[in-house]
Structure 1
Amino acid sequence: MRKLFGTDGVRGTANIHPMTADMALRIGAAVGRYFRREAGGVHRVVIGKDTRLSGYMFENALTAGLTSTGMNVLLLGPVPTPAVGLMTRSMRADLGVMISASHNPAEDNGIKFFGPDGFKLSDQAEMEIEALLAAGVEPAQAQHIGHAKRIDDARFRYGERVKSSLPRDIRLDGLKVVLDCANGAAHRTAPEVLWELGAEVVPLGVSPNGRNINLGCGSTQPQTAAEAVVAHGADVGICLDGDADRVIMIDETGSVADGDQLMALLAGRWAKAGTLTGNALVATVMSNLGLERHLADQGLRLERTAVGDRYVVERMRAGGFNLGGEQSGHIVMSDHATTGDGLMAGLHMLAAMVETGKPASDLLTQFTPVPQLLQNVRFAAGQTPLDSPPVQAAIRDAEAALEGKGRLLIRKSGTEPLIRVMAECENEPLLNATVTEVAAAVEAATS
């Protein structure tokens, strides 16, 4: 079992274990030793980050740990997470590192790793790195210590790659787009890309100060962007998160559409064009039952995975599928990227508007969702509320009540100290009752 890594790397509050400078240095040394399998030769790692204040601290600590094992470090500065996957491959690096806590508040931070193929590491690789970390890492001899260098054009390289995912004849002339960058990693790249393609951009969340990432903005708080879409008479809104690997869309009326609706749109378009491999979409257990039914009506399958975009990607690679994602807005288009890419997915939505001439409200209402309710319960370090007999009994009762009418999903978050209680059911009183009862039992177990 992994103890340090969660569903998306290592994450926590800055300066509290495990997200301390000392631990980042040790992690850097361990992962450097893991990927520097033989002495001699040239070994390199690319490091990107979002706009959190603690990013400076972790960038320096990781650089120290990596160079101590002989890795040469290429510092990309603030770039979206998908840019790190891209640059790891294009620069023939042995390893890619992204310093980000994604959609979490500014006081949190995290470290995500990409292998030389640009894909996130497997559970097995993370367990082996944890074993190295526990055993301690022998540093390189003085003559083999690595060096560090800043790469100034990473965001431009990424921007060109994102644009190249669209047909060359697609322009966004005449589209007014509210673009919320969450004061995060894409605050410069995303507005530039949309402007270069011809869109009129109304920018939000483009003034990071190290402490305001995801604060009242971005994909987890799209209300400000929704109001701006209506106020500016915009055609559509795009909300990214702090590291720009997820996106939430807003139509011209200010209505918010999640990743399920966007995946449904892309899957249908790709299927009609004959480019959806395997006639399937890969999504997690959190995706709405309405999406699954919508795909089935078109003769398409929904392949479900555990929560986490890297599990989506693993299933896509194993099955040869080229489209997947999460309800939260991670959209993975493996013909163009190795991980979720919010900006790229948003651009493909805009391309659909251009090609069909339809408004965003039509394109982002692909199916009627089955009523879904999610309640989060926070727990303290060391607590295991799901092991409580009363909680187990409440879960059994809820499952029995929902049998044949809906589904219940209980899981521990891999990125925050939360128990997520989610249910789907077309009988809304039953839905509310089951979620409330299970969440209450979980909360009681944390008291």
Structure 2
Amino acid sequence: MTNTPPVPSRSSVLGRGSYRETLRIGEILRKETVGGLLLVAAAVLALVWANSPASESYFALRDLRIGYAPWHLELSLGAWASDGLLAIFFFLVGLELKREFVAGDLRQFSRSVVPIAAAAGGVAVPAVLYALVNLGNPEALRGWAIPTATDIAFAVAVLAIIGSHLPSALRIFLLTLAVVDDLIAITIIAVFYSGDLAVGPLLLALVPLAVFTVVAQRHRRFFGTRPAAAWFILLPLGVVTWALVHASGIHATVAGVLLGFAIPVIRSQASGGPTAGPGLSEVFEHRFRPISAGFAVPVFAFFSAGVSAGGWGGLFSAVTDPVAVGIVLALVVGKPVGILGTTWLVTKLTRASLDRSLKWIDVFGVSLLAGIGFTVSLLVAELSFGQGSIHDDHAKVGILTASLLAALLASSVLVLRNRRYRAAEEADAVDADQDGIPDVYEQDGRP
């Protein structure tokens, strides 16, 4: 009798994470939902105002300059929103990314490879599609990075509006995608969209950044068991770092990411032994996320989304401009193709399979949702063409159109699956032993 060797079981991707991670992601997305609704409201208000008889007052407000000129800080309100307020948003991006890879589920390569690869595919394919559409126009080609990022706040606002019970695994996948491609986008901004580099301010920025890092890493020594007090020292250091990076010619939002990376995620106990757990990053995230989601990003959207269509003729001219066409094609087609295609390719190359609780149509729906590129796309459009230029206005029309189409298409797919999602959510919530942790997470061994 011949003994047949056992067939190795295939590993799965996009399975549920730990219960701790699920709770954390759920809390983040609840806050982003409120921020997303405010974001949409601010964008609608800007569009209505910019196309009303009082449109001149909107643009006068956006272009009003305030600040101290000798420090290169006399900026328009629109520039303060994009350079200053968005630094808070990117500070949280830095915090979230570091936490994911230091103390989150993504510190394991097997769990991080799929969302990272999918994010890379979701950046590369849209950029290539946009470039192909605008190949004959060197000026328009400057906008190749516009359709690279996913707006997580806008995306989760759509989920809230349609009442989707999207599984936690897909919510984690969507959030990770958004965070990683935001990091890619800010890297692109730093490399390709910075102005003339001034070495002096850049070198000077390293001093407050280094002090910020030392104080943040040793905050328990300075502040004992009151980590919240650290921000009274760290906030001025962060502002100085931001101002010097801004003066150097590198886009100031890069400072936000660097400062986020400097905040510790691992908490050191009094004995000196490091343990994974909530640290200063959690304190700062708790304080700054409401400011980012509830104020900084909506205000930026208000000053950036306002574009005068110029009537039906102007709107037709805008949506048929290759810049707008390239953006719509890149976000609505390129994003899902890049994300879904890369995820499928990784599963084949690693001989893995999709988690049995999901189907490829679910990944397709999330990939469509990732085509909502709003906040960072508006920022890159302004950096590419200059605020108020024809290409910038047409790019904004393309971003708004693409985001709306992506939201509608994703909703049509996810609503069809919502009954299945609701049933899975109810099953995952069962806690027969009444210990406060759903049974399915204890069976998976990831409390």
**Greater fraction of residues in strand:** 1
Higher relative contact order (CA 8 A, sep 6+): 2
TM over 0.5: same fold?
no
TM-score of the aligned structures, taking structure 1 as reference length: 0.22
